[in-house]
Structure 1
């Protein structure tokens, strides 16, 4: 299965002017479930709460 390495970056910290937290993960390139950018709710260590993280390109 072809998989690609992606980086997830916090969207809420970026808007608040704080340093964004980043996570590295993989995803299936040919998946029909995620045609656009991947979004997950992950823990942001700088804001000390769970926030939305979006795939960066």
Structure 2
């Protein structure tokens, strides 16, 4: 079963991306390197 998650920037705190994950196989929070338009650089985004 896949669920939708929001990815929140660790720098500015803005929710920039929406993604999905399989909660059964990946129960921990997702950490992904993504581009933040406000910071203008690639920064870690964490599931919120």
Would you say how many aligned residue pairs link Structure 1 and Structure 2? 48
Unaligned runs of 5+ in 2: none
Q: Which protein is richer in strand relative to its size?
A: 2
Q: Which protein is richer in helix relative to its size?
A: 1
Q: What TM-score does the superposition give when structure 2 sets the normalisation length?
A: 0.87
Q: Pick the structure with greater CA Rg.
A: 1
Unaligned runs of 5+ in 1: 15-19
The alignment's C-alpha RMSD in Å is 1.2
Structure 1 runs of 4+ aligned residues shifted over 3 Å read none
Q: What TM-score does the superposition give when structure 1 sets the normalisation length?
A: 0.75
